[in-house]
Amino acid sequence: MAELSEQEMLRRKSLDELRAMGIEPYPAKEYEVNAFSADIKNEFSETEQRQVTIAGRMMSRRIMGKASFIEIQDSKGRIQVYVSRDDISTEAQPEMYNTVFKKLLDIGDIIGIKGFVFRTQMGEISVHAKELTVLSKSLKPLPIVKYKDGVAYDAFDDPELRYRQRYVDLIVNDGIKNTFLKRATVIKTLRSALDEAGYTEVETPILQSIPGGASARPFITHHNSLDVDLYLRIATELYLKRLIVGGFEGVYEIGKNFRNEGMDRNHNPEFTCMELYVQYKDYNWMMSFTEKLLERICIATNGTSESVIDGKTISFKAPYRRLPILEAIKEKTGYDLTGKNEDEIRAICEELKMEDIDDTMGKGKLIDEIFGAFCEGTYIQPTFITDYPVEMSPLTKMHRSKPGLTERFELMVNGKELANAYSELNDPIDQEERFKEQMRLADKGDDEAMIIDQDFLRALQYGMPPTSGIGIGIDRLVMLMTGQSTIQEVLFFPQMRPEKVAKKDSDDKYLEIGVPQDWIAVLQKAGFMTIESLKSLNPNKLHQDICGLNKKMKLGLQNPKPEEVAGWVANSNKE
């Protein structure tokens, strides 16, 4: 009782009354739906009286004596239903309208309606109910959002509640479901394009003995049977490349990666990524393939090659600008880093007054920090940033004509990285040296440096064809395609801090100060969840409050005497 609101208690009472009337509020039998709200409206005919069976959640109700109007929300939208006493009440259940519909059903309940489609005098396409079936009783009241002239009132808009209770968000807030339907379109179009190109969708391990394929801090778990620590994968790259070694023309995987790093508007500890690897291709081919792919996805999702986010119109129409990273840095800071060593670049960081630089950072990390601070956020339209220094790219082939650089690009859109791609390094000796350099960075304290994967090196020694690979962040792609500025808006269930639970004393503590067992829940219902909360109370006021609750909630308890309540307060002060 202490946990339930008054409305929740009334709904549970209605639940019991339904069962007492022989109506099961959670029936097991299949309810055969043959129509949906949007389809009924789109297919309405003035000349044909269509018989339909619909089901959904009751979102509003206007009772007008012997007849009422309700609004049903199903998976495709909402539709009005006309409910009349004489239509739904039967010999077997004569109180279906007056008692069940008017008194025992609540907003949020899921019901089934059999009837016919008609147009009301006000011109609204509706369903005339001839039969009503209770399908699921809602025990918690919904936060009902009211819309007038496109403006939401009593909005359910607290992000903490919306993300934690996404099921409520989807029910009451317009447009939320559409975001996730667009997400499904993005992934479906991406998969279709890759399948049409002849590439094979595969699955690789999530639990890995070595967290390879990216520079990131992993999550660690323990496998009891093997008695070994394992890592949740930070990337799929090294396993997908093993499959290229094995003879696949092209392989891709759409799946979850996990990185034990910070959370913000653009990062979630688990995220969806697509990685693709194709033999006999290079990063120039991959740039052309990527811009055509993204243009196709945008058109499929929005009906146009443009998307609007943060008030900016972004065009995904190919081709995109291509800009080497060192030129980008020179363009934005005035410093040319070409040929500079680690100490020289560190000195430039000091001149640029960068405060987040530390001794664990090598040359590549320093360049990455400069680019992130001065360049990344400026690229709103899709831009390929290319030709990264080798220190930043331990899995990338050396540039064919620019010493010290690699054949790598990152795609920047709306000031954030969307994709990362290489001409893949397939020289096993060079790869081993790159891994060893990463281990030297780890020894300096870089906890995101890569670990040597000896089995991957062994695979490369059997020979990997020239290959190009790319990783695209699906969550960020969906943000761009749906105009959302935070990653939490495109994840059904983003990672959240643990929900705060109000402190509550055990029953034993109440019993120790003389509170009878039956009255503990009443005290807690009145808001006094701890003995500490009783100490400063006026005993007479407390007596009035709990006796009032006893009467209001029809608990039937014998009220305590004022001196008994005074004793509880006095004893709480002795604790």
**pLDDT tens for residues 179-191?**
999 999 999 999 9
* pLDDT tens digits, 511-558: 999 999 999 999 998 889 999 999 989 999 999 999 998 888 888 899
pLDDT over 70 for what percent of the chain? 99
Rounded Cα distance between 551 and 539, Å, is 18
d(C-alpha 254, C-alpha 187), whole Å: 9
Q: Which residue has the higher pLDDT, 492 or 4?
A: 492
Cα–Cα distance measured from residue 240 to residue 274, given in angstroms and rounded to the nearest whole number: 11
pLDDT, tens digit, 9 for 90 and up, residues 59-91: 999 999 999 999 999 999 999 999 999 999 999
pLDDT of residue 4: 82
CA 1 – CA 329 distance, rounded (Å): 63
Contact between residue 526 and residue 549 where contact means Cβ atoms under 8 Å apart? yes
Least confident range from 95-104, 178-187, 321-330, 393-402: namely 393-402
- Contact (Cβ atoms closer than 8 angstroms) between residue 458 and residue 429: no
Specify whether the CB–CB gap between 415 and 372 falls below 8 A: no
pLDDT per residue as tens digits for the range 476-505: 999 999 999 999 999 999 999 988 888 889
DSSP string, 291-347: HHHHHHHHHHHHSSSEEEETTEEEE-PSP-EEEEHHHHHHHHHS---TT--HHHHHH
| Mean pLDDT, the chain, integer | 94
Q: Note the pLDDT of residue 435.
A: 86
User: Tokens standing for 266?
Assistant: 């653009």
Closest CA to 139 of 110, 167, 164: 110
In this prediction the pTM is 0.88
pLDDT number for residue 434: 85
Residue 2 above 70 pLDDT?
A: no
d(CA 520, CA 508): 10
Cα gap 206→215, rounded to integer Å? 17
Considering only 2-11, 108-117, 142-151, 515-524, which range has the smallest mean pLDDT?
Answer: 142-151
Q: Tens digits of per-residue pLDDT, 323-369?
A: 999 999 999 999 999 999 999 999 999 999 998 888 888 898 899 99
Task: Give residue 146's pLDDT.
Answer: 76
Instruction: Indicate if the pLDDT at residue 19 is higher than 70.
Output: yes
* Nearest Cα to Cα of residue 215 among 383, 391, 359: 391
With a pLDDT cut of 90, the percent of the chain lying above it is 82
The secondary structure of residue 458, as a DSSP letter, is H
For the stretch 273-320, pLDDT in tens is: 999 999 999 999 999 999 999 999 999 999 999 999 989 999 999 999
Question: With bands split at pLDDT 50, 70 and 90, how would you rate the model's confidence at 406?
Answer: very high
Pairing, β 306-309 against β 125-136 = unpaired
**pLDDT of res. 440:** 83
Q: Which two tokens stand for residue 431?
A: 């790869």
Write down the pLDDT at residue 574.
Answer: 85
Closest CA to 539 of 516, 562, 557, 517: 562
